[in-house]
Structure 1
């Protein structure tokens, strides 16, 4: 019997997750189907009840449901609890849902693959949304000297209050003025498809990592490259977090390099 997996979010039509997971399932001879499922905010509980009855075995969770998924889960993994959000649900033997978070390990995989070492380094994290919460924990656990920069200070403070080592906090405007001191900049501020770019100082070969990709990241990454920053986009993190979710479901880590190449071809064709 074909097992059901999928990603829940709103909007969701743009998601590359079905492309990634269905190919991995074919590559590994797994009889399963992965679907994108649009679920409006406030309707996750009903959706999970329906999917449970349909026999769904695993789900990815994206905006705006990551915090709600944590609340609705029957069990919660340690990392998801620390982050306060879940992006992966796994059916348990008892029939409930176990909440996990693979955003943080996905991010760590990408910087380690790029041979970026953050222990003792000055790292600026731009933004304080759900993704920033996961990245702040990852960077703190790796020993970075972290500064969180956000337009609304109170949201940055909420993240800082839950970290084992309290980072420095500043407004986004002040943070952008201070980027010359950063050895790594991680941007979670979404400018969407407006064509606007963050104004950056000269990078002198340091790394600017934008967790967006495609059209949403293109203006800022192009400007960063012009300012002599080494640039990274978020496709690698997208694939890595998917791979670690796949590992939770099937007990194996799939081929990330091939999946990233396929995703990049799709993104470049539409950018």
Structure 2
């Protein structure tokens, strides 16, 4: 019987995950399919039960269900527990789910692919929402000197406390000054989804990494490049976290380079 895998979210129709995973499934001759699975906000528990009835064996979890996923899982990896959210579920032979989080290693892998050094560098992280948790944890584990700029400073304080990491916290009004002092800037803010950008100091060819990609990242990355920054989008992170999920399910680490090339073509065709 063909095994079911998929990505669960609300919305989910825009996801590139089916393109990525179904190509890998074909490449490795696996009897499996990967689907985009819409589960409305607040209905994750019943949605997960329905997927269990369909004998799903592995799921990627996206907004707004990542915290619910770890709460309903039978067990969780150390990384998922530290972040407090799961982006991957693995069906256990005994029943129930193992909660994993491949966002943090996916982010780390994307930095390695871009040859970006983080250890002992001054890194400015913009934003302290759900997307920032995995990024902040990865940066801390890589020994970055971290500054977090967020509109609501108390939320950044909560993030630092939850992850048990060290970071200086500033309001978003100080972002331009903090970016000016940083070696690398990582943006997790959703400003790009509304076409808004930030005021950029002179980049001097430093890296500005927006974890979004496509249209949501376009305006911000263009503004950064115009100010002399080296822009980088989050497409490589998307592919890397997908590859690590695929490895958890199938025991195979798939080819990230070809998947990234496919995704890049699709994104460029729509922006």
3-state DSSP of counterpart to 2:118: coil
3-state DSSP of counterpart to 1:162: helix
* Aligned residue number for residue 65 of structure 2: 65
Task: Between 240-249 and 161-170, report the one with greater CA deviation.
Answer: 161-170
Shift of 1:172: 1.2
- Find the aligned partners of 1:164 and 1:193 in 2 and give their Cα distance: 30
Asked if residue 42 in structure 1 is aligned to residue 57 in structure 2, the reply is no
Asked if residue 123 in structure 1 is aligned to residue 123 in structure 2, the reply is yes
2:192 and 2:220 in contact (8 A); partners too: no
* Aligned residue number for residue 52 of structure 1: 52
Question: Which structure 1 residue ranges, 5 or more long, are not aligned?
Answer: none
3-state DSSP of counterpart to 1:246: helix
2:137 and 2:165 in contact (8 A); partners too: no
Shift of 1:192: 4.2
1:140 and 1:164 in contact (8 A); partners too: no
* Aligned residue number for residue 83 of structure 2: 83
3-state DSSP of counterpart to 1:161: helix
Figure out how many residues of one structure are paired with residues of the other and give that number.
271
Structure 1 moving runs of 4+ over 6 Å = none
Deviations 1:98-131 (A, max 9, x none): 0000000000001111111111110000001111
* Aligned residue number for residue 27 of structure 2: 27
- Find the aligned partners of 2:31 and 2:157 in 1 and give their Cα distance: 45
TM-score by structure 1 length? 0.98
1:140 and 1:163 in contact (8 A); partners too: no
* Aligned residue number for residue 231 of structure 2: 231
Asked if residue 114 in structure 1 is aligned to residue 114 in structure 2, the reply is yes
- Find the aligned partners of 2:251 and 2:68 in 1 and give their Cα distance: 26
3-state DSSP of counterpart to 1:244: helix
Shift of 1:164: 4.0
- Find the aligned partners of 2:139 and 2:229 in 1 and give their Cα distance: 20
Asked if residue 256 in structure 1 is aligned to residue 256 in structure 2, the reply is yes
Shift of 1:39: 0.8
* Aligned residue number for residue 149 of structure 1: 149
Asked if residue 103 in structure 1 is aligned to residue 103 in structure 2, the reply is yes
- Find the aligned partners of 2:144 and 2:238 in 1 and give their Cα distance: 22
Asked if residue 94 in structure 1 is aligned to residue 79 in structure 2, the reply is no
* Aligned residue number for residue 9 of structure 1: 9
* Aligned residue number for residue 198 of structure 2: 198
- Find the aligned partners of 2:47 and 2:232 in 1 and give their Cα distance: 35
Alignment root-mean-square deviation, CA: 0.9
- Find the aligned partners of 1:133 and 1:166 in 2 and give their Cα distance: 13
